Structure 1
Amino acid sequence: MSQITLNGVFKRYGQVPVLNDISLEIGEGEFIVLVGPSGCGKSTLLRMIAGLEDITAGAVAIGGKVVNAMPAKQRDLAMVFQSYALYPHMKVADNMSFALKLSGQPKAEIEKRVKEAATILGLENLLERLPRELSGGQRQRVAMGRAIVRNPTAFLFDEPLSNLDAKLRVKMRGEIKKLHQRLGKTMIYVTHDQTEAMTLADRIVVLNDGEIAQLGTPMEVYGNPANTFVAGFIGSPEINLLPATVLGSGAAEVKLADGTRVPLGAPAGLVEGTRVTYGIRPQHFALDETGMPAEIVLVEPTGEDQELMIRLGTQEVSMVVHNHAPFAPGDRIAVRPEADKAVLFDAGTGARLH
């Protein structure tokens, strides 16, 4: 059953298009992540679902009911913002219970819900503190607790971790995933961080210039990108995208601009001379004494792995090696691209070919 449905949704500010023909079905209990660069329309789309932005055209339905004209407070959705938006003069318990008090809930019910939410989020010992006495991660948990006590149909998150440091973002990411597993509620999460998208989502919606560039599970989007934008945006380090030409429909390799030949997992099936873009992720190179000669340009240790920038012919490409060999710029090595992991894109449109 689709709990939240967007059907042909458009958004314009005057003559400026922001979202173009967005159609999406979100199932009950699903964790959907909207990801894309700044200005792609992801936060605007979330706010339209919440009822905080008007819809130019199309329809948003919740539980099968079109809610275009329904005020935000009647949609039974809880939103967690980038800023914690806590009342500084109220203690944690009062911040979490404020909306329930406004709605006239009985005192016993309010106390029960606040206690349950505090237990879920590990806030039991912080209920009597003021926001200024909390860390950033604790404040974000309070903001999440304020949403939980309402027991909404769905949760909407608008880049909730972007104000936290890197270590705390990782911890809070885990907290949100555990929260979803425990509550089983529909969650829609906006981020520009592709790592957050990959680790949290049941399905990812990749947005670009106000349109859906691809929709799929994290591994579908990572392993089978629909175009060069998705390939370049999802995955770290970034995929290598190299201009190339096809050697013939039966050839299981293509030729790079400098004449270097690189392998494919299967024949391209394209006319000889067709211009393409050859995509290979840094993780899909292997050191191989019988492989292609290359020169190391840059070494970046990352702890468990090392990221190398290498010169393959005249092309500079990145690769990841899973050992601690003492590599240095200028070293000569031999590498082998994993042919079955290579992908081809149309050189003009960027659409996936192979």
Structure 2
Amino acid sequence: MTRIGVDVKFEDGASLLGDDPLETLSVAYDLGFEGILVRTVDEAFPTLDSGALREFAAEAKTRDMFVNVGLGKVNPYMTAELPRIRDLGGGSYLAGMERLIALCGEYGWAEAWTAAGAYQHHLPAPFCFDRFRTDVDWPDQLAATARFLHKLAPTLREHGVRLNLETHEEITTFELLRLIEDVGHDVLGICLDPANVMVRGEPVGDAVRRSAPHTRLTHLRDVVLVPTERGLSRFLMPIGEGVIDWDGLLDVVLATHPSLDLIIEGIGGSRAEMELRPDDARWRAAHPDMTDDDGERLTRLASDFAARATSGLAPGIDELRASPPPLADYRDFLTRSLTALRASLERRSPF
């Protein structure tokens, strides 16, 4: 039976839901969630204290909540941004990741989250995306990522753990599928975040259909596209309040994995505006799998939303860009998303 959990980011053991992992787990349970994705485990448990981890795992079991964890990033060109994992490996990032994989195996947390890059909020587009780094081309980053994943593969197989690469802001579903084919279906899967795929020029429905057979985790949020003077901008919305067809998405994803646990990702202090430029030749050149039809469909989607905003049926760009109080908006975003996702699941299972 499909359950619904929540993705929670930690910093030095605390999160927006609680001052420590146990409090966070309790608050998530009280909000109605049936599981948690701890992203990442070293940020929730900075020293990997075995007593704290055992207590957390036991409390989750008592509450009958599922647990997934994240293990850091796998792109060697940005792993220096995660010094704690290197410290946990005694100076080796590889050893740090292997230690985290072994921890997952110990607790039976078999489906783990990861990503192939980061997003730099303080940098202008397109340099905020690792895809557009100027010190190394994106194909070289993908090649290095594949080599690193091959190094991790024996440890993943030994401990029965699969790394699920997120459909993150820097990578396309086409590229994720190539990595999975290269490294192995048994050790790599996909964490589906449908709100990100349009940032890389992919219509949501197509990306979901490509990803579904390999989707073992999710980061579920809704999204809108808005035309701007530079192209199109993506903004996050609670599930059911954007442009994603959730009934259709669930039909596709759950057709392959009927008991897949679904995980909702929240929001921070903004709706995470991200820019795409389907009509810009240089931007398009960086997306060789994108078609003209993809670009036209995304542009129409943005135009339709702009028309709704003009009619007062949807928020305008100024409202979307306003930054609400993080904690209040974060919980509200989660609970509204949970209500809408449950309703969509119930429509699939009327009995």
Same fold (TM over 0.5): no
Whichever structure has more strand as a proportion of its residues is 1
Structure ID, larger Rg? 1
Structure 1 or 2: more helix by fraction: 2
> TM (normalized to structure 1)?
0.31
User: TM-score of the superposition, structure 2-length normalised?
Assistant: 0.31
